[in-house]
Amino acid sequence: MTRLFRMAAFALLFSVSSLSLAEDTFTLRLAQTWGPNSPILGETVEHMAKMAETMSDGRLQIRIDPSNKHKAPFGIFDLVRNGQYDMGHTASYYYKGTIPNAMFFTTVPFGMIAPEQYAWFYHGEGMELMQKVYEPYGLLSFPGGNTGNQMGGWFRDEINSVDDLQGLKMRTPGFAGEVMSELGVAVTNIPPGELYSALERGTIDALEWVGPALDFNMGFHQIAKYYYSGWQEPGAEVQFLVNQKTWTSLPSDLQEILRVAMRTAAYDMYIQSTHESGVAWDRMKEDYPDVTHKTFPPEVIEALRGATNKLLKEAAEKDELAKEIINSQREYLRQVRQWTNISDKAYLDSVAGE
C-alpha cells in the first residue's frame, strides 16, 4: 500500500506540476509587414522573440508570421486590433489613412534624428502621446527599431529643380508622401516585395526605401543610378504593436520581459542598420561606380520644407491631439538640437574631409 500510495502521490504531483507549467506558458502570435528572411527588419523580430524566450526561461513564446503567410503587409494594425494576432511589427505611418496621428511616431520630415527621437520617446512625452493615439483601438505601441537617417531615394533622372518633380511617379510613404504630393509628385505606396518590379517595369520613376543596408540587396541601383540623400525620414522608427487584452493577460514579470526584449531589439536594429549601411555603401561604390550620390538642390529642399510646414500647420488646426504631438516634437527638438549642433554636428563639421 505504501508503495502504491507513493506512486499515486508522485503521479499527482507530476500532473499538478505539468498543469502549472502549461498554465504559466504563453504563446503569442506576431504578424510582420516584412517578408520571410527579411534582413534587419525581420531579424529584429527574431531577436526580440529569442530574448523574450530566454529571459522567461521558455514561459513566453512568440510565433512570427511573415507577410507571405498572413497576406496583409499593410494590414498589421487591423490584424492585431481585431485579435487575429497578439502582436505586430510594422511602421505606424502605414496606417495614416485610419489613424492620421499615427504617422508622427515613425518620423517627421526635417525632424528629429534617431538619438533625439529616442530621447523624446523615453524621456520626453513620446510614449505618453503614442499611447493616447493607440489606446482607443485597444492597442499598445512600442518603439520597434530605427533605421537611422534614411536616403531620399533612387531616381532614374536627376532632380535639378522643383519642376523636375512634376508628374514624377514615386513610392514614398507617410507624411513625406503628402509633402511630395504638394509639389506635384504622383505618390504611391507599394509593399516592399513589389518595389523592384515596379521600378523595373516603369510603374514608378523613383522610390524611397531605407538606405544602403536594405537597398543594396533589393537591386534598385541596377535600374536607377541617382541616389539622393534624405530629408524626409531623419530617424525612421518602426513599431511593435501589442493587443491590449493580450498584454493584460500576461503576468507582470512577463510583461516586463516583453517590454525589455522589445526595447533591446529596437536598439540592436539601430546599431545593426548603421553597421550594415556602412558595409553596403562601401561595397556599392566599389562594385557599381556608375551609381551617383546626390543631394537635392537648395531650391527643392526649401520647397519641401515649406510644404512640410504648411501640412503640419493644417494638421494642428484640424485636430487637437495632432497639435499636441506636433508641439511636443517641436519643443523637444528646439531644446535637444542645440546640444546636437554643438556636439555631433560640430564634430562632423570640424573633421570634414578626414
Confidence class for position 23, pLDDT limits 50, 70, 90: low
How much is the pLDDT for 191? Answer: 87
Q: How far is CA 283 from CA 154, 155, 213, 230, 294, in A?
A: 17, 20, 11, 20, 18
Rounded CA gap, 175 and 198, in Å?
A: 21
Tell me the pTM: 0.90
Each residue's pLDDT tens digit, 34-90: 999 999 999 999 999 999 999 999 999 999 999 999 999 999 999 999 999 999 999
How much is the pLDDT for 8? Answer: 44
Each residue's pLDDT tens digit, 100-124: 999 999 999 999 999 999 999 999 9
**Which residue type is seen at 211?**
G
**Which residue type is seen at 89?**
H
How much is the pLDDT for 353? Answer: 62
How much is the pLDDT for 192? Answer: 86
Percent of the chain whose predicted confidence (pLDDT) is above 70: 93
**Could you tell me the maximum CA-CA distance found in the chain, to the nearest angstrom?**
95
How much is the pLDDT for 14? Answer: 41
128 compared with 10, residue with greater pLDDT: 128
